[in-house]
Chains A and B, each alone.
Chain A
Amino acid sequence: MSDELALEAVAPADAFRAALLREGLLIPTGVDGLYGRSEAFEAVVEAVDRLIGRLASGDGAEVMRFPPAMTRQGFEASGYFRNFPQLTGTVHCFCGDDLDHRRVLECAAAGGDWAAEQVPADIVLTPASCYPVYPIIARRGPLPPEGWLVDSSSYCFRREPSLDPARMQMFRQREQVCFGTPEQIRAFQARWMERALGMFESLGLPAGTDLANDPFFGRPGRLMANGQRSQRLKFEILVPVSDPGRPSACGSFNYHVQHFAEAYGIRAATGEIAHTGCAGFGLERVALALFRRHGFRPEAWPATVRQTLWPSG
């Protein structure tokens, strides 16, 4: 894409962002992609989260909720830094004594870099809410014969500062993670895509499905992306959010083959390396799509949409 086209594409997103800030739904922090959320915005995010919970309710998935960080060891095993160094957010901490502290403060006062003394901690920011799940499942030993399902959620971090409010640096994901055979994962992927399309329809949101690839880094990344597409491993559900002409991925449905199971040593009951998949929703994006489509006042949204989000209300 040329720079000219990119600039044209930013304009509608910028206008939508300005409106969200003006309405007080998002609270600016001064950093692109990092926002506070208002009460009204949070009420919609919570309603979307609960709606997804209702879709999953018959599955018997094990619920796991995580803080927005995971173990560095688990992160390194995932291969995330190998594939997405540009998106990674690490946590660094001060580990010195009084003297080191004084030296750092003096250095900062003299215009130096106080952060130069920080050292990598044993945690990193979570890139996707399913990532903390894999090492936990691996530690439990072989899967039961029928496989396993986890319902995970956390704030996630991706270093991609943008004026587009649909591209936040910190956002929440609600993900279902499936462990089992290739057939089980493909069925899980198809089941959740169907559920998601039904959900968007009941929310009055126009949604389309498309084959997709992750934003793998560099030249090896081109090869990875090509492989992901030609094997039809990743699908997204796209909904208009910031720019009606360029819908954003609000749901992502992935078959990892044995990537995570191999990385963490997750085995099926038979002892073979298992297969995994995940079906995730970007909660802020779904909320933003609703504000975009139905207006900035949820109390004025169509009754059917309100009934879907707040069934008792």
Chain B
Amino acid sequence: MEDRIRNILKQLNELSSLVDGLDAKASLYDAGLSSFGTVELMVALESDFGIQFPDSLLTRETFESISSIRAAVEKLQQANQAGEAGGRKPMEILSLESASAGEGGR
């Protein structure tokens, strides 16, 4: 999972050369990730993992670090699986959990 996220980060011009040296908890913003870059990162993560970030996760905190991204992606994947198993839409489950999800990246 972490390697997959690192590979996606390497595709961003702003971070490509720095990714290998970054700690999972290091701030991507301090490393040079811009607001436009964050949007590109969001789109790339959604496309690669086949997920869609709900509004509650479209925050600066979600994309703060490799570990915060990992937490959000894992949460979405779990919600998707639970949704498929229980017949509930992933968005419904996430909206129930959105308060804690937003804190996950801090």
Contacts and interface: CB of A to CB of B under 8 A. Distances in A.
Contact of B60 (A226, A257, A258, A259): A226
B55 A222 contact: yes
A90 B60 CA distance: 32
Given A227-B38, A259-B34, A220 B59 contact: no
Majority DSSP secondary structure for residues of A touching B: helix
Contacts of B39: 220, 223-224
A216 to B, nearest CB: 9
A222 B58 contact: yes
For chain B, give the interface size range. Answer: 10 to 19
A273 to B, nearest CB: 11
Contacts of B38: 223-224, 227
Interface string A224-245: 1011101100000000000000
B35 A228 contact: yes
Contacts of B60: 223, 226-227, 230-231
A223 to B, nearest CB: 4
Contacts of A226: 58-60
Nearest to B52: A219
A227 B33 CA distance: 12
Interface string B16-52: 0000000000000000001110110011000000000
The list of the 8 closest CB pairs from A to B, nearest first, reads A220-B39, A222-B58, A223-B58, A227-B60, A226-B59, A230-B60, A227-B35, A224-B35
